[in-house]
Structure 1
Amino acid sequence: MTSHELHAGRTALVTGGSRGIGRAICRRLAVEGVLVAVHYGHDRAAADHTVKEIENHGGRAFALHAELGLPGDADQLWAAFDHILDGQTSEPGLDILINNAGITIPRGIADVTEADYDRVFAVNTKAPFFIVQRGLPRMRDGGRIVNISSAATHIAYPQIVAYGMAKAALDYLTLSLAQELGPRGITVNTVAPGYTATEINPKLAVPEVRQKYAQASVFHRLGAPSDIADVVSFLAGDQARWVTGQWIAASGGAHLGR
């Protein structure tokens, strides 16, 4: 079986798919034969670029817009998905949902405002909850849900306390959904990246910070978005049919033993 046949005939939605880890996931799934819906919140140009990259390599993708964290965001997203998919050759419905979109609030507890707190939970926790709720009627039996969390939920990291709390709530959603959706053959898992080199992390422009983050891994390097996408691809495929309700750290062994 070639890589183009692994997920052939399936349809995926990747939230936050226009940049960073989300873009790597979109590209990886498309290479394996998936029709990929590349969701974006603000950067249409980045989403179009991701779609073009996929198409240039023989894959299929389309961009769709919904600003997460606002009332009605899940309904807006699925309405856009249904409308655009109606113009494709694929059957209606969904096989793979990747809840990747998220924001961080890099502040300790003393500096987090109520607006900060509400915003980070609205995007990182509330949006995935209702995206799943509204999306389940569209999801075919035997489908896959992967929630992108953070290794920070398993270590003390006071500098991003609100972000870590929001992602920890997402971790629980994985457990609950895995139990509920098992009878339909739908698996639900969490992938938790560690320090990953993406263009949306401005701290990595500082050499000292970049070196510190790299040294946290047992491999003494930062993760690449493709490192995360490889794990997601496995969980999205048939080989992971017996894996559900799991929290999988894709962190390069960051902070092991310390």
Structure 2
Amino acid sequence: MLAEQWAGAPLTAVVNNAGQGADTTLATTDADTLDALYATHVRGVYLLTQALTAPENGGALLADGGAVVLLGTGLTRFVHVGRDAYAAMKGAVDVLTRYWAQELGPRGIRVNQVAPGPVETAFSGWEGNEQVRRVFADGTALGRSATADDIAGVIAGVLDSGAAWVTAQRIEASGGYRL
């Protein structure tokens, strides 16, 4: 049992930041790609959160009154061809946010989702590419693409005690991309 192995104080927050991309279309996505995306973005997130929150499964390492943040994507609102399989898995995260907020709410555990828009990181595949950066920047109300620090700040804000009345929300951090 996970809780029996943990020697530290109960956790106050869990941030599920699973990431694996796939740049394929409906015609080119194979079963292995779908399975890998599902394993990362749905199964892994589900089982980790279960292990940390479910007392009946030996979990409950997340303290009552704690918070869970799931990382989603702006791609569930706006479309980029070739990202449908990835976006579909993150759509499941969208649904889990609301269900888990309802289920964990009686313990005072808040569950929210942060859904980034274009973020210049190694994961995005265009880090340092000025041409791609400009295309995304031109599509935002703020005139730039995000950095990892931008998204980290949103996550920290959601976890802050000042957001204690916020749960079951999808908070898009896109700089106003494709309004």
Same fold (TM over 0.5): yes
Higher relative contact order at CA 8 Å, sep ≥6: structure 1 or structure 2? Answer: 2
TM-fit CA distance, 1:206:
3.3
3-state SS in 2 of match to 1:244: coil
> 2-side partners of 1:202 and 1:132: how far apart?
28
8 Å contact 2:97–2:113 — kept in the other structure?
yes
Deviation (angstroms), 1:97: 0.3
- From 71, 87, 97, the equivalent of 1:164 is 87
Note the 1:1-258 alignment, pairs <5 A: 86=7, 90-91=8-9, 93-136=10-53, 137-256=60-179
Aligned length in residues: 173
Scaled by the length of structure 2, the TM-score of the pair is: 0.90
Per-residue deviation, 1:251: 0.5
* Deviation digits for residues 203-227 of structure 1 (CA, Å, limit 9, x no counterpart): 3443322211111111111101111
State the distance in 2 between where 1:101 and 1:253 align.
23
Q: Distance in 2 between matches of 1:134 and 1:103?
A: 21
CA separation in 2, counterparts of 1:206 and 1:107?
Answer: 21
Q: Which amino acid aligns with 1:197?
A: E
2:148 alignment partner AA: P
Kindly indicate whether the alpha-carbon contact (under 8 Å) linking 1:108 and 1:159 is maintained by their aligned counterparts in 2. yes
User: What is the identity, as a one-letter code, of the residue corresponding to 2:69?
Assistant: V
Q: Structure 1: where are the runs of 5+ without partners?
A: 1-74
Q: Percent identity?
A: 33
- Per-residue displacement from partner, 1:167-207 (whole Å, max 9, x unpaired)? 00011000000011111110000000010111233234433
Q: Which residue is equivalent to 2:57?
A: none
SS at match of 1:102: coil
8 Å CA contact retained: 2:75, 2:87: yes
How far off is 1:231 after superposition?
A: 1.1
Task: Give the corresponding residue for 1:47.
Answer: none
More helix by share: 1
User: What amino acid is the match of 2:84?
Assistant: V
Determine the C-alpha separation between the residues in 2 that align with 1:229 and 1:204. Answer: 17
Residue aligning to 1:16: none
Instruction: Please list every run of 5 or more consecutive structure 2 residues that lacks an aligned counterpart in the other structure.
Output: 54-59
Matched letter for residue 187 of structure 1: R
TM-aligned CA deviation for residue 114 of structure 1: 0.4
Root mean square deviation of aligned Cα: 1.7
